[in-house]
Amino acid sequence: MFRCDPFSNVKEAECLAKWQLIRLDMLLGSYQNMLKWYSKLGPLQDKIFKYVQREINDMEESEGWKLDEEEEQDGRDDAWPV
- Within-domain flag for 68: yes
In a domain, 39, yes or no: yes
How far is it, in rounded angstroms, from Cα 30 to Cα 25? 9
pLDDT-derived band at 66, boundaries 50, 70, 90? confident
Residue 44 lies in a domain: yes
Residue 4 lies in a domain: no
Comparing 78 with 35, which gets the higher pLDDT? 35
- Strand, coil or helix: what is 53? helix
Segment 17-52, tens digit of pLDDT:
888 888 999 999 999 999 999 999 999 999 999 999
Confidence of residue 12 (pLDDT cuts 50, 70, 90): confident
Q: Which domain holds residue 42?
A: 15-79
51 occurs within a structural domain: yes
